[in-house]
Structure 1
Amino acid sequence: MNEDIKLNNLLDNLSTAILLLDQDMRILFANVSSESLFEHSRNQLFRHPLSEFLIGDCIKIERFYSALHNRDSFSENEIQLIFKDGRHCLASMIVTYYESDENGMLALEINPIDQIKKLSQESHQWALQQASRDLIRGLAHEIKNPLGGIRGAAQLLERELQDSNLREFTQLIIEQSDRLRNLVDRLLGPNKPPDFQWVNVHRVIEKIRTLLTIEHHGIIIERDYDPSIPDMYIDSDMLQQAILNIARNSVQALNGDGTLKFSTRIQRQSTIHGNRFPLCAQIKIIDNGPGIPDSIKDTLFYPMVSSKLEGTGLGLSISQSLINHHKGKIEVDSWPGHTEFTILIPIAKKEDIK
């Protein structure tokens, strides 16, 4: 009896979720980490089939029965678990055949790797984004210099032309030069330093919500705010533009029918680009649209990347740049029926701002 108690205590102190399944794939044992992973108590998990808590064929249940029948074991390095409440979790999984009192069972170890993989991807993508920004800045300046010369030459030529019909062509050169210059300016991002002030972040979001409500009548816009978030030292115009760019992308993906949700929370001990912050404001923009195509997920924040035929692909790139001014970051998680952009911005203390 004492040995069983010691074993249970040991399993409860593991960060890995441990489940024991019988021959009908019903849960006979679950440790504390399993309760956290499934967001159900042990009593709610006990004697219920594993498939009752997961959606579809995210786990191949036939493989479990095969392992039980053949007294075999197997592992999965990356498996996307989809829970009945809509949550997704990337995890590694080890399934081991276990025999007790001549009854075959399966021991299931599940280790969530979302955070580890996310940090690795974030570091890699951040380096690539920085390199692409440096490249774009260099190219943009190289383009703007001759562009100014072309525009100036067209203006001088226009003054010398006697035929008004020919001036139509010089005007075309000037207009297209201006169009290209505006595009280059947008590629470069904001050209003015931030105007930081103490602002209530919910007032910024409410302006966006009101604007979108007026523009898009067929879309349901929900809000779920955390009133404990204190005033933040931010540039309200920059933050408004960053959120608006993301929200408008979400609205376009909904195509006039669906739900857009703004949610805020306090997040503690967050790592942003290698720096640890004790408190951050978490702003989520969530829609129930078709999701982001797999082909652009890894390059979503790069300039000129868009899934829309007429899109410039600059909105999210500009949003990323604006949030970078606040030492923050933008994360995205998407699957069919759910897209979730998360903005994290460190919360500064008033006594630390001079």
Structure 2
Amino acid sequence: MNSLDPTAPSGHPGPDFSAFEMLGSAVLILDEDGLIRHANAPAEDLFEVSVRQLYAMPLCDFFRDGDELYKSFQEAISQRFADKRQMLTIDRIGREPVQVTATVVALQGHPWPVLVELREVEQQLKVDREERLLEQAQANRELLRNLAHEIKNPLGGLRGAAQLLEAELADASLTEYTQVIIQEADRLQTLVDRLLVPHRAPRIVSDVNIHEVCERVRSLVLAEYPRGLRIVRDYDTSVPEFRGDKSQLIQVVLNVVRNAAEALHERISEGDAEIILRTRVARQVILAKQRFKLALELHVVDNGPGIPSELQDRIFHPLVSGREGGSGLGLTLAQTFVQQHEGLLECDTRPGMTDFRMLLPLP
């Protein structure tokens, strides 16, 4: 719905630009002189200048290569194209310059003739990576669910046949072999049940305090590793409560922290292993192509050897484990539970440091 804009050209209704506030990219509307007539919140973050200060400023002045942008602006005014994309560099006082992808759009039938959309190159890469993670997780869930159902029925038949065979054996010493079949069938059944947990268990939603979750996990892991491991609290007490499944989130953090502790076995034996639980409030976060004003950012940081390079792109894949005897399901289930909360779990690793970051939208 449009409203009358006193700054719009005479006789023209001012468009309602509120939809731009939901975008993760910076959007600016320019008049025929190249002056900014509207800027959304991401533009304010990008330029580190308030919307009030941006108003009526020449957009090209913010760029190191402003002449290139002005040339595109003039072509848009002349309606030589519908839209044009180019790489530009923003100069910010006292900060490193930032490279952006600029899309210049010629508007028709609007009081202001040009729209410019800006995306940080690094941010675009991050969004692309998150989209790949979400698509990958969805494909993994479907694969695991179908695989689990396919295995479950014949597995039950196999176990039942072994029990019947055991009852018919005349030689009791042969039951050793049927017991192997039964025990291995039970082990596979347990694995299948774990694969199906995220699809079966009902979510119990309540108010969640993330620091209570962290404290529960901290006490559990320290009970398992009473010596040689330090778990440091670095909490932001301003993080508000949010709606979620507390037991699922405890499982998420527990899986990640236990993985970190297992990776630290050498440092634990040396007595200098450390895991940091860090909470922060992040602003203007994009999750699954949706913009959230506030998000919880929980980091689990360890000082271990880092994840091997050949596993880094596959750590959230099912049945992929970096340790002998691991099921490879802990991080897969953690990612599933986080995504059920509309969030994302990602990892940054290098020798001497691994950082798992969980992002969850906040009210």
Q: Distance in 2 between matches of 1:244 and 1:15?
A: 47
Give the conservation status (yes or no) of the 8 Å contact 1:281–1:347. Answer: yes
Backbone CA RMSD of aligned residues: 2.5
- Number of the residue aligned with 2:309: 294
CA distance in 1, matches of 2:331, 2:94: 37
Distance 2:354 2:239 in 1: 24
2:70 alignment counterpart: none
Distance 1:326 1:290, change over 3 A: same
Contact 2:137–2:336, Cα closer than 8 Å, also in 1: no
Q: 1:128 aligns with which of 133, 136, 158?
A: 136
Q: State the AA in 1 paired with 2:321.
A: S
Distance 1:34 1:312 in 2: 50
If asked which structure has higher relative contact order (CA below 8 Å, sep 6+), I would say: 2
CA distance in 1, matches of 2:280, 2:232: 15
Q: Does 1:245 align with 2:294?
A: no
Tell me how far apart the structure 1 counterparts of residues 130 and 353 of structure 2 sit (CA, whole Å): 21
Quick one: percent identity of the two aligned structures? Answer: 43
Q: Do the aligned partners of residues 310 and 34 (structure 1) sit closer, same or farther apart at CA in structure 2, a change above 3 Å counting?
A: farther
Distance 2:330 2:95 in 1: 37
Displacement of 1:311 in angstroms is 2.0
**Aligned runs of 1:83-162 on 2, under 5 Å?**
113-162=121-170
Q: Is the 8 A contact 2:137 2:335 kept in 1?
A: no
Cα separation, 2, equivalents of 1:317 and 1:288: 22
Aligned residues: 257
Q: What letter is aligned with 2:274?
A: T
What's the offset of the Cα at 1:287?
A: 1.3
Per-residue CA distance 1:253-306 (angstroms, 9 max, x = gap): 222133210111111221112222222111111112222222111111001112
For the residues of structure 2 that align with 1:311 and 1:249, how far apart are their CA atoms? Answer: 10
Q: 5 Å matches for 1:133-212?
A: 133-190=141-198, 191-212=200-221
1:341 corresponds to: 356
Q: Helix, strand or coil for the counterpart of 1:303?
A: coil
Once the 2 structures are TM-superposed, how far is the Cα of residue 136 of structure 1 from its aligned partner?
A: 2.0
- Measured at CA, do residues 278 and 92 of structure 1 come closer, stay the same or move farther in structure 2, by a change above 3 Å? closer
SS of the counterpart of 1:331?
Answer: strand
1:160 & 1:34 partners in 2: Cα distance? 85
Uncovered stretches (5+) of structure 1, i.e. residues with no partner: 1-8, 17-30, 39-90, 94-110, 349-354
What residue identity is the alignment partner of 1:13?
F
Distance in 1 between residues matched to 2:63 and 2:234, nearest whole Å:
34
Q: Which residue of 2 aligns with 1:218?
A: 228
Q: In 2, are the aligned partners of 1:194 and 1:325 still within 8 Å (CA)?
A: no
Work out the CA distance in 2 between the residues paired with 1:309 and 1:172: 22
TM normalised by structure 1 equals 0.66
Secondary structure in 2 matching 1:166: helix
Q: Extract unaligned runs of 5+ from structure 2.
A: 1-57, 66-89, 101-118
Q: Does 1:306 align with 2:321?
A: yes
